[in-house]
A = this chain, B = another copy of it.
Amino acid sequence: MPSRLIVSRELADLLKLLAHADRLRLIEELRLGEKDVTSLAIALQLPATRVSQHLALLRAHRLVEERRDGRSHFYRLAHAHLADWILDALPFVDIRKRLGEADHIDTALALWGVPDPNSTH
């Protein structure tokens, strides 16, 4: 019954794909909608070549989808909730890195334009 092994391998592949600061920022950057490679490169202050390489990886695993318009290639998230799911991991980040700031998580969420859940009910 190696099914659990197979599933854990697939999950590990997915997490490996996401385990890179630039790719995480790309995904969060696409939270609000599609963007082209140049815009993403400017927003993240990265060379367009590297952005393209990251997007190629995300695309190979079907996490983003591509649309071409003229010379530009626009990318969007294939799963609308992927960016949310990633931010759900913030509580698991080592507490020692969040020192001195009890509302660090909310601050981080606000940085990505996520409304504070504590103020919505």
Contact = CB atoms under 8 A, between A and B. Distances in A.
Interface residues of A, number: 44
Interface in A17-71: 18-25, 28, 61-63
B14 A89 contact: yes
Contact of A25 (B5, B13, B88, B96): B5
Leading 10 A-B pairs by shortest Cβ distance = A15-B19, A16-B19, A12-B21, A8-B21, A8-B24, A9-B21, A7-B108, A19-B19, A8-B25, A4-B111
23 contacts: A3-B111, A4-B25, A4-B28, A7-B90, A8-B21, A8-B22, A10-B94, A10-B97, A11-B86, A11-B89, A12-B20, A14-B92, A14-B93, A14-B94, A15-B18, A15-B19, A16-B19, A61-B94, A62-B95, A82-B92, A85-B85, A85-B88, A88-B88
